[in-house]
């Protein structure tokens, strides 16, 4: 589930490791489905131990720990991964641990379903993997004209298009529904039938919603999986307008009930009155 706001919250939660030296790197024994860690642990340990952290960043839905030699260790949480500095939700799902020279600092990677990825890239590998051909611009940097240039000729539905990480990085299923509701755009509206004025509204709404969600440290859904770096829940779920609210009244027009449809095998929530298809 973690989307841009949740991953950005994870990133901010471990900023204290900047400038610290890595003293140990460990793949934690886990009886659950193993996660993918590349290259092998011996190589990761050799390349990271004794190195200082230059910066903690984010690219799309990934936390990026940049080392002093510009190697980068990436955590890609996928559905249920968490990057933590505090006691994890459960010990049995801890997959990876790093310890640092500054006091008691450590970073844990926890993953209940084991779908996440951890990988170490050198500068050239990082550049190749995350070129604009492979990953779109960050969702916090979009503009109306940029979105129109990316999607304007596409015939696919706007909701499905926004989930394409090669086009725009960071938006997932939850926030796509929220963005389109506030912008008043039907989720099945074809991209090539959206006007520049509407693209401008989608862009501004995207930035506003994602920034607000970051302020509230992301969304913890009913399964309780997502937590911030201190193992506390987010708060933006209390501000959701349509996501997972099928049958409830629309917060804008009040009388219309939120509808759920399936697009590209994902649930979409919207209001038929506020988001008319044109």
The predicted structure's pLDDT at residue 105 = 85
- pLDDT of 194-223, one tens digit each? 999 999 999 999 999 999 999 999 999 998
The predicted structure's pLDDT at residue 111 = 97
Cα 240 from Cα 219, distance rounded (Å): 9
The predicted structure's pLDDT at residue 176 = 98
- pLDDT of 107-166, one tens digit each? 999 999 999 999 999 999 999 999 988 999 999 999 999 999 999 999 999 999 999 999
Instruction: Look at residues 139, 133, 194, 129 and name the one whose alpha carbon lies nearest to residue 162.
Output: 139
- pLDDT of 61-109, one tens digit each? 999 999 999 999 999 999 999 999 988 999 999 999 999 997 768 999 9
Cα 13 from Cα 31, distance rounded (Å): 27
pLDDT of 1 higher than 80: no
The predicted structure's pLDDT at residue 132 = 84
- pLDDT of 6-25, one tens digit each? 999 999 999 999 999 999 99
The predicted structure's pLDDT at residue 62 = 98
CATH number attached to the domain at 139-270: 1.10.8.50
The predicted structure's pLDDT at residue 242 = 98
pLDDT band per the 50, 70, 90 thresholds, residue 260: very high
Instruction: Look at residues 2, 7, 12 and name the one whose alpha carbon lies nearest to residue 78.
Output: 2
pTM for the structure as a whole: 0.96
The predicted structure's pLDDT at residue 86 = 83
The predicted structure's pLDDT at residue 104 = 64
Domain spans of the chain, in order of start: 4-129, 139-270
Cα 79 from Cα 112, distance rounded (Å): 9
Catalytic (active-site) positions: 2-3, 61, 266
- What is the edge-to-edge ordering of all strands in the sheet holding 81-84? 22-27, 94-100, 106-111, 81-84
Cα 267 from Cα 261, distance rounded (Å): 6
Architecture of domain 4-129: Alpha-Beta Barrel (3.20)
- pLDDT of 39-55, one tens digit each? 999 999 999 999 999 99
For residues 114 and 32, is the Cβ–Cβ distance under 8 A?
A: yes
Taking residues 232-247, report their average pLDDT.
97
Look at 38 and 103; give whichever has higher pLDDT: 38
Percent of the chain with pLDDT over 90: 94
Q: Ramachandran region of residue 153, left (φ > 0), alpha (ψ -120 to 50) or beta?
A: alpha
Instruction: Look at residues 28, 27, 17 and name the one whose alpha carbon lies nearest to residue 51.
Output: 17
For residues 207 and 5, is the Cβ–Cβ distance under 8 A?
A: no
Instruction: Count other Cβ atoms within 10 Å, centred on residue 106.
Output: 17
- What is the edge-to-edge ordering of all strands in the sheet holding 36-38? 36-38, 117-121, 72-76, 62-67, 53-59
Instruction: Look at residues 234, 235, 232, 236 and name the one whose alpha carbon lies nearest to residue 89.
Output: 232
């Amino acid at each position: 589930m973690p989307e841009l706001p949740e991953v950005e919250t994870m990133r901010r939660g471990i900023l204290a490791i900047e400038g610290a030296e890595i003293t140990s790197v460990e793949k934690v024994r886990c009886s659950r489905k193993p996660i993918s860690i590349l290259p092998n642990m011996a190589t990761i340990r050799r390349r990271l131990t004794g190195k200082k952290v230059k910066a903690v960043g984010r690219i799309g839905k990934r936390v990026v720990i940049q080392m002093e030699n510009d190697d980068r260790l990436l955590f890609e949480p996928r559905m249920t991964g968490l990057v933590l500095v505090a006691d994890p939700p459960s010990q049995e799902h801890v997959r990876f641990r790093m310890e640092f020279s500054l006091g008691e600092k450590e970073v844990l990677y926890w993953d209940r379903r084991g779908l996440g990825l951890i990988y170490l890239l050198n500068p050239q590998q990082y550049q190749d993997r995350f070129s604009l051909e492979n990953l779109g611009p960050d969702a916090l940097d979009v503009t109306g004209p940029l979105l129109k240039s990316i999607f304007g000729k596409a015939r696919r539905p706007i909701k499905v298009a926004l989930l394409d990480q090669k086009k725009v990085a960071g938006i997932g299923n939850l926030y796509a529904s929220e963005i389109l509701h506030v912008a008043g755009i039907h989720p099945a509206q074809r991209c090539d039938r959206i006007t520049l004025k509407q693209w401008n509204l989608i862009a501004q709404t995207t930035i506003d919603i994602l920034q607000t969600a970051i302020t509230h440290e992301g969304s913890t859904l009913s399964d309780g999986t997502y937590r911030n770096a201190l193992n506390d829940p987010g708060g933006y779920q209390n501000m959701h307008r349509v996501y997972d609210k099928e049958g409830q009244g629309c917060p804008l027009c009040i009388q219309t009930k939120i509808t759920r449809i399936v697009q590209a095998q994902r649930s979409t929530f919207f209001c038929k009155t506020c988001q008319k298809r044109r």
